[in-house]
Amino acid sequence: MGRFSALTKSRIAMGALVLAAAASASAQGTQDANEPRPIPAADTLFIDEMTFMEVRDAIRAGKTTVIVGTGGVEQNGPYTATGKHNFVLRATTDAIARKLGTALIAPIVAFVPEGDHAPATGHMQYAGTISLTEDTFRALLRDICTSLKVHGFKDIVLLGDSGGNQKGMQAVAAELSAKWAASDARVHFITEYYTQDMWSFEYLKKIGIFQKPDVQSAARAGLHDDYHYEALVALVDPKHIRAEQRIKAGKFSINGVEMGSIRTVLENGRRLADYRASITVAAIQKAIATRTAVK
């Protein structure tokens, strides 16, 4: 008498653990996933700027496409910040999603393959660059896409702003679409975002921007930078292309083009964002239509 059996003690301990877990969840403010949103939604399509309720309600309202943009942190010459590709994607993916009308935007994948660590190759030869191995990059994309599928996104769009990202995205898109063949979710690799009129080479001429030398290259005139990128980065913040310092130093030019005023650069940046959005939206719509037709 007065003694508990081993089984009873085990049950008591388990009950205590359950109560402790419930208390912890309550202390952390855990909410019902279906609780109504108490305030109007913010005007943003970036998931990392939205509340979980805003994301949930957007999906329920039909925004079942999600854009996963991959950028990078690497050297971009003496004037443009190492996050160039990530800043560009902040401008272009917003333009794409708004033009598409049915999409949200996943957090930009900021880290991608840039070169070997030891000995340093590629962009890893320059301070500030952060590089992933190809295996790590692909594993990251798999986990991101799988997370988005769990929450109800049906068309997961992969696009990259840098050449080294393309092969991994294409492979993961094919792999996951095959794996998910029995479901209604697919992953689409949209190569057109990057490859169609690469670096807006022809379009820049149409709006009066003629760079020197007149070659389609990621390192024109020895710089890993050009007007296309600087104008798009400036849309996020002109500080990222060191506009003020360059104007004062008489160096506000790129590849033989005098950039003029910040206002002019921003106007052209908006044109470029809209141009790349038009290319990409057409490719996304084609990919989704093809998938729907096959299904």
> Would you give per-residue pLDDT tens digits along the chain (295 residues)?
455 565 555 555 555 554 454 444 444 557 788 999 999 999 999 999 999 999 999 999 999 999 999 999 999 999 999 999 999 999 999 999 999 999 999 999 999 999 999 999 999 999 999 999 999 999 999 999 999 999 999 999 999 999 999 999 999 999 999 999 999 999 999 999 999 999 999 999 999 999 999 999 999 888 999 999 999 999 999 999 999 999 999 999 999 999 999 999 999 999 999 999 999 999 999 999 987 665 5
Of 196, 205, 181, nearest to 278 by C-alpha is 196
The answer to whether residue 184 is domain-embedded is yes
Of 149, 151, 171, nearest to 160 by C-alpha is 171
The answer to whether residue 1 is domain-embedded is no
Structural domain of 95: 47-294
Calculate the CA 227 to chain-centre distance: 21
Buried b (16+ CB within 10 A) or exposed e, 220-236: beebbbbbbbbbbbbbb
Alpha-carbon distance values, 195 to 162, 203, 209 (Å): 10, 13, 20
The answer to whether residue 38 is domain-embedded is no
Counting the structural domains of the chain, the total is 1
Residue whose entry in the numeric block shows the structure tokens 């996104």: 153
DSSP one-letter code for 46: B
The answer to whether residue 18 is domain-embedded is no
What pLDDT shows up at residue 31? 79
What pLDDT shows up at residue 21? 47
How is residue 20 written in tokens?
């402790």
Query: Residue 213 is part of a domain; what is its CATH number?
Result: 3.40.50.10310
d(CA 103, CA 92): 13
Q: Are 282 and 288 in contact (CB under 8 A)?
A: no
The answer to whether residue 192 is domain-embedded is yes
What pLDDT shows up at residue 290? 87
The answer to whether residue 85 is domain-embedded is yes
The answer to whether residue 35 is domain-embedded is no
Peptide bond between residue 78 and the one before it cis (omega within 30 degrees of 0)? no
The string of DSSP letters for 107-143 reads PPB--B--S-TTTT-GGGGSTT-BB--HHHHHHHHHH
Torsion, Cα of 272, 273, 275, 279 (10° steps): 140
**SS3 of residue 267 by DSSP:** helix
What pLDDT shows up at residue 14? 53
DSSP one-letter code for 212: S
The answer to whether residue 6 is domain-embedded is no
pTM: 0.88
**SS3 of residue 245 by DSSP:** helix
Q: Are 100 and 287 in contact (CB under 8 A)?
A: no
